[in-house]
Amino acid sequence: MKANLDMTLYLVTDSTYHTEESFYKTIEEACQGGVTLVQLREKNCGGREYLEKARKVKVITDRYQIPLIIDDRVDVAIACDAAGVHVGSSDLPVSVARELLGPDKIVGATAKTVEAAKKAYEEGADYLGVGAIFPTTTKVVTIRTSVETLNEICQAVPIPAVAIGGLNDGNMDVLKGGNMDGIAVVSAIMKAEHPKEAAQKLKAHVKELK
C-alpha cells in the first residue's frame, strides 16, 4: 500500500449533473468536507477536454493535499501529473498501467470477484474498488456485487478495498463489521445540495462502520 493512502471516503466525480462552475464548486466543497481521495471520471470526454478538466481539478485537490486519480486514461494521468489512475475490467490491464506509470504512482483497479482481486494485486494494483453494492444512478454499466463477496475480497488480498455502488448515508450500514477500508461515492456527494456537509456526514458514518 502506498504511504499515506487514506481510502476512507473516495469521491468519484460525475459532471453530467452540473454546469462547469457547479462541478468544480462541488469538488472543492467535498474536499473541504473531508473526502480523502478524488477520482475524475469522464466517460464521454475527448483527451484534450479530459486533460483540461484534470488540470483544473488537480489545482483543487492539491490545495487540500488530496490525491487525484484519473479514471481509465493513463495518458491524461501522466500529462497532468495526477497521483495515479483507476482501471476497470475493459481498460488497460493493471500490469500495463503500472509499467507506464512506474512504481511510485497509484494504480487502482475494479474487482468484482476474488479471482479478479488476486489478479489485480499480483499485477501491481495498490487498491481495489469493489461493487456495485447497490444499483447506481450513474450512466456507468454496473454488475451487483454482494457484501459477502466484498468481505471475501478484503480477506484474500493485502491491499485496501473500498465498496462502491449506490452507497449513501442511509444504506451503508449493510457494510458494518466488514473489512473494507472505506467507501467510494458518486451521487451521494455530486448530487448533494450541500456537498461539504454531505462529505462530513458520510465520513463520520464510515468511521462508525469499522
| Helix count and strand count (H, E) for the chain | 8, 8
What is the C-alpha to C-alpha distance for residues 188 and 209, in angstroms, rounded to an integer?
17
Answer for the pair 209, 188: CB distance below 8 angstroms, yes or no: no
Residue with cell 476497470: 88
The one-digit pLDDT tens for each residue of the chain (210 residues) are: 576 799 999 999 999 989 999 999 999 999 999 999 999 999 889 999 999 999 999 999 999 999 999 999 999 999 999 999 999 988 999 999 999 999 999 999 999 999 999 999 999 999 999 999 998 876 566 678 999 999 999 999 999 999 999 999 999 999 999 999 999 999 999 999 999 999 999 999 999 997
What is the rounded end-to-end Cα distance, in angstroms, of the chain?
A: 19
Q: Does the predicted TM-score (pTM) go above 0.85?
A: yes
**Set of cell numbers at residue 134:** 447497490
Distance (Å) of CA 103 to CA 47, 106, 125, 199, 201:
24, 8, 10, 31, 34
- Determine the distance from the C-alpha atom of residue 105 to the mean position of all C-alpha atoms in its chain, rounded to a whole number: 15
- Phi first, then psi: what are they for 2, rounded to 5°? -65, 145
Q: Strands (DSSP E) along 6-66, which ranges?
A: 9-12, 37-40
Alpha helical stretches, state H, 34-165: 47-63, 74-79, 94-101, 114-122, 147-156
